[in-house]
Amino acid sequence: MKIKRQYIYAVLFISVVIPLATGLTFKVRPGPPVKKFYSAVNGLNEGDYAAVTLSYDPSTKAELNPMVIALCGHLFSRDVKIIMMNPLNNSIGNLGYELITRAASLYGKKENDDYYFLGYVPGEKSALQNMGEDFYSVYSKTFMKAELKDLPLYRDIKTIADAKMLIDISDGNSTVDLLTYVNTKYGVPMAAGTTAIMAGEYYTYLNSGQLLGMLGGLRGAAEYETMLGVNGKGRRGMAAQTFAHILVLLLVLAGNIEYFSGRRK
């Protein structure tokens, strides 16, 4: 039997729309990687600096934006100062700035005092390397072109090693680059949030202790939101995610039954 692919897409669409339209939610139980991530961020104290690197394209914002929003809220609620930047991806600047500005307004935080958005700088790996020698040889201005030497950051941070933690939110291999050039070389503790596709690869770094914690895909974001007690996009999407997964499972099962019964004939 052959099912037209258009029917499969239509059923998939319905299976996602119904839970979202009805506001159906499921209980999400946080797993060990997310618990570790939460504990690592919770270990930061008031006034500490956390560097957050955004290394993803807008095409993966569905999975990663909920993480960034939850993370900013978590850091701001603990009065941790954020240095947000995107040195390994030049397309996320405006979106990243919008996200942190929105989160800051909810917690009454001031730009260029409680948080800094530095944007993109060319150089990629050599830029990361130089951040460990002299941070301001890489970044001299913020994303909105404020001179860094006039800001409190200049007094507190000389190199990236002065940050208490580095968190990379990525959709590619950037976490390994940051582990190589920042964690291994300058000893900055690291955690990561990543798309579901990349999560499998990063488990090795989590198990070895090189990553303190990890958020994997929309589920990771939903688990993190659960730990923070926030009802964000991650948690809202989990019911739709579950329905769609059940559908895919059924289709895989049906495909296999069809294949094996065909072989027997």
Helix (H, G, I), strand (E, B) or coil at 194: strand
Size of the site for other proteins (CB under 8 A): 54
Residue 63 binds to other proteins (criterion: CB under 8 A): yes
Q: Where in 122-161 is the site for other proteins (CB under 8 A)?
A: 122, 125-126, 129, 141
What span, in angstroms and rounded, lies between the C-alpha atoms of 178 and 172? 12
Give the residue with the Cβ less far from other proteins, 228 or 247: 247
Q: Give me the phi and psi of 21, to 5 degrees please.
A: -70, -35
Distance of closest approach, residue 16 Cβ to other proteins, in angstroms: 6
DSSP state of 23: T
Distance of closest approach, residue 111 Cβ to other proteins, in angstroms: 19
Q: Exposure string (b/e) for 165-196, b if CB count within 10 Å is 16 or more?
A: bbbbbbbbebbbbbbebbbeebebbbbbbbbe
Residue 256 binds to other proteins (criterion: CB under 8 A): no
What span, in angstroms and rounded, lies between the C-alpha atoms of 17 and 5? 18
Distance of closest approach, residue 17 Cβ to other proteins, in angstroms: 6
Give the residue with the Cβ less far from other proteins, 67 or 75: 67
The alpha carbon torsion through 107, 108, 110, 111 (nearest 10 deg) reads: 50
Instruction: Select the residue interacting with other proteins from 209, 229, 259, 263 (CB under 8 A).
Output: 209
- Please choose, from the candidates 115, 140, 124, 62, the residue with its C-alpha nearest in 3D space to the C-alpha of residue 90: 124
Instruction: Select the residue interacting with other proteins from 9, 43, 187, 261 (CB under 8 A).
Output: 9
Distance of closest approach, residue 51 Cβ to other proteins, in angstroms: 18
Give the residue with the Cβ less far from other proteins, 61 or 164: 61
Residue 218 binds to other proteins (criterion: CB under 8 A): yes
Distance of closest approach, residue 186 Cβ to other proteins, in angstroms: 10
Determine which helix (DSSP H) or strand (DSSP E) holds 216, and give its type and residue range.
strand 211-216
Taking residues 16 to 35 in sequence order and writing x for each that binds other proteins by CB under 8 A, - otherwise, the string is xx--xx--------------
Give the residue with the Cβ less far from other proteins, 121 or 163: 121
Contact indicator for 163, 51 with CB cutoff of 8 Å? yes
Residue 231 binds to other proteins (criterion: CB under 8 A): no
Helix (H, G, I), strand (E, B) or coil at 106: helix
Give the residue with the Cβ less far from other proteins, 17 or 113: 17
Strand order in the sheet with 165-170: 115-119, 81-85, 49-55, 165-170, 190-194, 211-216
Side chain identity, residue 40: A
Interacting residues with other proteins (CB under 8 A): 5-6, 9, 12-13, 16-17, 20-21, 59-63, 90-91, 93, 119-122, 125-126, 129, 141, 176, 179-181, 183-185, 195-197, 199-200, 204, 207-210, 216-219, 233, 236-237, 240-241, 244-245, 248
